[in-house]
Amino acid sequence: MYPQYLFEYPNVQTDFPFYMKKKKYISVPSHRHDFIELSLVLEGTGKERINGAEHHLQPGTIVLLLPYQIHEYDATPGETLQMYICNFDMKLLTAGPESAWGMNEFLFGSENPRSSHIQLKDHDFQEGLLLWERMYREYESLKAWKPIMLRALLLEALAMFVRGSDKPNGKRIEKQHQKNSKGVWPIVQYVYEHYLEALSLTSLSEQFHIHPTQLSTQFGSEFGIHFIEFLHELRVRHACSLLISSDLPISQIGYESGFSSYPTFSRAFHRMKGMSPRDYREQHLRKLQ
């Protein structure tokens, strides 16, 4: 059984797809999402599992999750985890000049793969806390140029993460995950940016010089899902947006979303949303009445 798949959050459909919250947790079940998540633990202790690898959570732990990584966490019995959590689209980081400054390599793999988490202590934790508090106040405000300020603060928080990862005592990810990271994540980014086009394991394997069987295995290992379902999830999300924001015929929406036939679109949509595309559109219209 696949873990819960999350593909929506407040502001996801805006021109600045960034969301931030401050919340307390005791337990969060296994799930994955197609956006980036950056979090900071403020209070409490616990454990988190990312693609099966476990690490500790305590005040000052910062975790950076790429899209589709499976994770879950639990507070230590008798305790509560209080965290800042940011959700945002990867295009906030890969569409600008930052990608040429090392952002793509940092996010999607290099010869020295990044850690999924770091631990801020003492003075570093105090500095990090001030930065995140400022970012949260900015997010809650209605000030002019708010997206510009938030993006600047987000990049500063990521720079802090990178520098923390580079420290000699910085924690590193499991060897198995290191081996897979460089090979699969550039492909994930490519699929994320080209899912409306005709894509297949064969075409991707030829483009990225990796055997189709190996690519299929890596998708299953990283995300607990087959490649075709991964691709269909992206396309169904796109279709959902068209269904609620346009009056295009449903059959045309299927083709606009990358599906080669309406039956394939209808089956994939029903499997992932639990209803037909028509029912999904009608349900949304009823909510607006």
**Homologous superfamily (CATH) for 195-288:** Homeodomain-like (1.10.10.60)
CB atoms within 10 A of CB 129: 16
Quick: pLDDT tens for 216-262: 988 887 777 789 988 998 899 889 888 988 899 999 999 999 999 99
Are residues 102 and 159 in contact, defined by beta-carbon separation less than 8 angstroms?
no
Are residues 187 and 208 in contact, defined by beta-carbon separation less than 8 angstroms?
yes
Supply the pLDDT for residue 114: 64
**DSSP single-letter state for residue 73:** E
Supply the pLDDT for residue 8: 60
Q: What is the CATH number of domain 4-165?
A: 2.60.120.280
- Compute the average pLDDT of residues 143-156: 95
Are residues 208 and 188 in contact, defined by beta-carbon separation less than 8 angstroms?
no
Radius of gyration of the chain (CA): 20
**Would you put residue 51 in left (φ > 0), alpha (ψ -120 to 50) or beta?**
left
3-state secondary structure of 248: coil
Quick: pLDDT tens for 183-202: 677 888 788 888 999 999 99
Bridge partners (DSSP) of residue 48 are: 55, 73
- Compute the average pLDDT of residues 133-159: 96
Quick: pLDDT tens for 116-129: 899 999 999 999 99
The percent of residues above 70 in pLDDT, for the chain, comes to 84
Supply the pLDDT for residue 272: 87
**DSSP single-letter state for residue 10:** T
Quick: pLDDT tens for 5-62: 555 667 766 788 999 999 999 999 988 787 899 999 999 999 999 877 899 999 999 9
Q: pTM higher than 0.85, yes or no?
A: no
Q: Do the first three CATH levels of 4-165 and 195-288 match, i.e. the same topology?
A: no
1-15, 138-152, 274-288, range with greatest mean pLDDT: 138-152
What are the Cα distances from residue 51, in Å, to 72, 156, 176, 229, 277?
9, 27, 10, 18, 32
Supply the pLDDT for residue 279: 95
3-state secondary structure of 87: strand
Round to the nearest angstrom and report the end-to-end CA distance of the chain.
Answer: 36
Supply the pLDDT for residue 285: 86
Q: What are the boundaries of each domain within the chain? A: 4-165, 195-288
Supply the pLDDT for residue 105: 67
